[in-house]
Amino acid sequence: MKAISLLLIITLLCGSYQAMAQKKTPGKKVEVTESEEDSEESDEEENSDSEEAEEVEEEASTPKEQTLSLFSKYDFVAGDKVVFFEDFSQDAVGDFPALWNTNASGEVCITGEFPGKWLKMNADGMFFLEKGFNFPKNFTFEFDVLPMQEESGDIGRIILALFSPSEGDLYNSGGVPGDAGIEIAMGSYFSYRAYDENKDLQNDVWNKKMPKNEVSHVSIWVQNSRLRLYALGSKLLDIPQALTKGFDYKQIRFCTDEIEATKFLISNIRVAEAGTDQRSKFLTDGKLISYGILFDVNSDKVKPESYGALKEMADILKENPSVRVKVVGHTDSDGNDAANLDLSKRRANSVKSELCKVFSVDSSRIETDGKGETEPIENNNTPLGKSKNRRVEFLKL
């Protein structure tokens, strides 16, 4: 199969609504097959799932299948109260997203290989939430990033900043933004920077790089001042005193470097409040809602990034041998009602299977069920509401 230039793919993807193209990449084929109208029709037929995208694969001549057992040191657990979610589903393909701003150019696009809509960010630009919002004291921050590049060699880098803004610094390219914050750069290698007026901590992680033309899921866990960064199946950073106390962290900003060959796409940005003692909550309230158990799109396959959330429930059961639990799957309202119900049941069964297989929980202690879209906890009219409804619940029996 002939390779088509990446620039042509992006142009067809985001600017033209009548395109079909494909290119060969190590391990996967990326296809551009949908117009905006096709995408809307496909969305109506899809089962409930604008879930986080494909599994992470590190670059290799023969990519390994990622399994839960390979993520045994991946202790990330998503917060249990989602406060922000962005998947660009309410923005038109070809437009710049309504909630964001930039000093460069970018647009919402779709791909034939990776589900959902994405913000394609052009080189040498800054992309940020127009209004920002207040981060909780303890929170998790997750997103998917897709570096697209046809040329050989290392990809460029994208920099995420979470910071306390000061006047006029959103477009500050000469230094770090705001009065205090953190910057995390990723791509050809990872690095971080934690700063305020009195400190400037920096470090690099050279032995990890994102694969090009593949989706990588990035997770950040902040507990007071402590920062932990997870990607590519590993905990890459654990900084005890990264965020300075006394500042209001209110802004998200992505920056792209000057390498034109790499086009960075982002989606599925989720912020959730963390800090609740889940063990006590489950044993006292009899219910635990998990947003950290992830699945492939329209599939019951549990993604390996779910290891931390599954281990948390397995530990609760091991510490309380008399406790039994029911696993209940839930979806949003996208797609067919019957298909959503079936998907939610199969996902609950998959969670039980992983708890038994990977963590050696006795299967007799676990029941399963699925409710599909019938028990929403928010309306399904917004991306945030849908993200809250896509969940796994553990009910104490």
- Same domain as 348, residue 259: no
Does residue 75 lie in a domain region?
no
Does residue 76 lie in a domain region?
no
Query: Which backbone phi and psi does 210 adopt, to 5 degrees?
Result: -75, 140
Residue 316 pLDDT > 90: yes
pLDDT at residue 152 in the model: 85
CATH number of the domain where residue 331 is located:
3.30.1330.60
pLDDT at residue 207 in the model: 84
Residue 247 pLDDT > 50: yes
pTM reported for the whole predicted model:
0.79
Does residue 107 lie in a domain region?
no
- Same domain as 195, residue 122: yes
- Same domain as 195, residue 131: yes
pLDDT at residue 75 in the model: 85
- Same domain as 288, residue 146: no
Residue 27 pLDDT > 70: no
- Same domain as 266, residue 122: yes
Least-confidence region, from 39-43, 315-319, 329-333, 386-390 = 39-43
CATH number of the domain where residue 243 is located:
2.60.120.200
- Same domain as 348, residue 333: yes
d(CA 150, CA 183): 27
The tens digit of pLDDT for each residue in 5-14 reads: 444 444 444 4
Does residue 19 lie in a domain region?
no
What percent of the chain shows pLDDT beyond 90? 60
- Same domain as 350, residue 267: no
Split at pLDDT 50, 70, 90, the class of 20 is very low
pLDDT, average across residues 305-312: 92
Does residue 106 lie in a domain region?
no
Q: What mean pLDDT is reported for the chain?
A: 82
Does residue 242 lie in a domain region?
yes
pLDDT, average across residues 305-330: 94
pLDDT, average across residues 124-149: 91
The tens digit of pLDDT for each residue in 44-70 reads: 444 444 443 333 333 333 334 566 666
pLDDT, average across residues 295-311: 90
- Same domain as 223, residue 191: yes
Does residue 309 lie in a domain region?
yes
Choice between 323 and 24, residue whose per-residue pLDDT is larger: 323
pLDDT at residue 64 in the model: 47
123, two tokens = 């080189």
The tens digit of pLDDT for each residue in 329-345 reads: 999 999 899 999 999 99
- Same domain as 282, residue 246: no
pLDDT at residue 131 in the model: 84
- Same domain as 242, residue 212: yes
pLDDT at residue 36 in the model: 42
pLDDT at residue 343 in the model: 96
Residue 384 pLDDT > 50: yes
The tens digit of pLDDT for each residue in 139-188 reads: 999 999 999 998 888 899 999 999 988 766 666 655 788 889 999 999 99
Last residue of some domain: 227, 253, 273? 273
Structural domains of the chain, count: 2
- Same domain as 173, residue 266: yes
Q: What residue numbers bound the domain in which 129 lies?
A: 81-90+118-273
Last residue of some domain: 229, 255, 273? 273
What percent of the chain shows pLDDT beyond 70? 79
- Same domain as 268, residue 292: no
Does residue 128 lie in a domain region?
yes
Last residue of some domain: 273, 299, 334? 273
